[in-house]
Chain A
Amino acid sequence: DAGVIQSPRHEVTEMGQEVTLRCKPISGHNSLFWYRQTMMRGLELLIYFNNNVPIDDSGMPEDRFSAKMPNASFSTLKIQPSEPRDSAVYFCASRRRDGSRSAGYTFGSGTRLTVV
């Protein structure tokens, strides 16, 4: 089991550029979550999917952010245009949605985004 795979690990981009973050969840996990982590605000849930369908995107900061999950093994988070305040570590996590309250999330190693 390779775990949740995120790419790239680091991204430095100029303000105004489009940024795409990628995530491959664990095979068999049917819930996927995108989080953003900053020192000031901690871990914030941006959006989550169940069976590839977006369920709750109330945490997406604004229209510049969009997320897709075209199939069970791939998701993207896109920021267009990027701004310096988007600088953060973005995490993807997956979970098996089996009715159990005990199962935890498995997180990827994150993408550190710096917008200059």
Chain B
Amino acid sequence: TQLLEQSPQFLSIQEGENLTVYCNSSSVFSSLQWYRQEPGEGPVLLVTVVTGGEVKKLKRLTFQFGDARKDSSLHITAAQPGDTGLYLCAGAMDSSYKLIFGSGTRLLVRP
């Protein structure tokens, strides 16, 4: 059983479309991070959210941490082929810095 469930698992969209990826849990996290992973490489950190209700923007990407710190979402506006990859959410439950990763959302943006 995954502690962090991501949805959808797979997403194939046309360039220019918007999309939202969800990361849900029944557990409370002290912080939550989003990573993007490309084939043959390790995950790369996109953002960290630490406060319930926090919203962070990174160009066309908007990240939100739920008020109860149990869930998060990633919204991409006007997706581009360069956004293609595996998106992973990861939560830390305490000060141990041990990250638990979600199941991942595999995104394909078609030109």
Do A and B interact with each other, yes or no? yes
Residues of chain B contacted by A95 (CB below 8 angstroms)? 97
Q: Find B96's partner among A4, A55, A102, A105 (CB 8 Å cutoff).
A: A55
Q: Across the two chains, which residue of chain B brings its CB closest to A43?
A: B101
Which of A42, A48, A103 gathers the greatest number of chain B CB atoms within 10 Å? A42
Q: Find A56's partner among B30, B50, B96 (CB 8 Å cutoff).
A: B96
Asked if A101 and B99 make an inter-chain contact with CB atoms under 8 angstroms apart, the answer reads no
Asked if A101 and B42 make an inter-chain contact with CB atoms under 8 angstroms apart, the answer reads no
Q: How large is the interface on A (under 10, 10 to 19, 20 to 34, 35 or more residues)?
A: 20 to 34
Interface flag for B103 (CB, 8 Å): yes
Which of B43, B92, B96, B100 gathers the greatest number of chain A CB atoms within 10 Å? B43
Interface residues of A (CB under 8 A from B): 4, 31, 33, 35, 42-45, 48, 55-56, 91, 93, 95, 97, 99, 101-110
Q: Across the two chains, which residue of chain A brings its CB closest to B41?
A: A109
Instruction: Give chain B interface residues in 75-111, CB to chain A under 8 Å.
Output: 88, 92, 95-104
Q: Across the two chains, which residue of chain B brings its CB closest to A44?
A: B101
Residues of chain A contacted by B88 (CB below 8 angstroms)? 43
Residues of chain A contacted by B97 (CB below 8 angstroms)? 31, 48, 95, 97
A107 to B99 CA separation, bound complex (whole angstroms)? 13
Q: Mark contacts of B5-31 with chain A using CB atoms, 8 A cut-off: 1 yes-contact digit, 0 otherwise.
A: 000000000000000000000000011
Asked if A109 and B40 make an inter-chain contact with CB atoms under 8 angstroms apart, the answer reads yes
Interface flag for B48 (CB, 8 Å): yes
Q: Across the two chains, which residue of chain B brings its CB closest to A6?
A: B42
Asked if A42 and B103 make an inter-chain contact with CB atoms under 8 angstroms apart, the answer reads yes
Q: Can you report 19 A-B residue pairs in the complex whose CB atoms are below 8 A from each other?
A: A33-B98, A35-B101, A42-B101, A42-B103, A45-B98, A45-B101, A48-B97, A93-B42, A99-B95, A101-B30, A101-B48, A101-B95, A103-B48, A105-B43, A105-B45, A106-B45, A107-B44, A109-B41, A110-B40
Q: Across the two chains, which residue of chain A brings its CB closest to B99?
A: A105
Q: A43-B104, A99-B95, A110-B42 given. 12 additional CB < 8 A pairs?
A: A33-B98, A42-B104, A44-B101, A56-B98, A91-B43, A93-B42, A101-B31, A101-B48, A101-B95, A105-B45, A106-B45, A110-B41
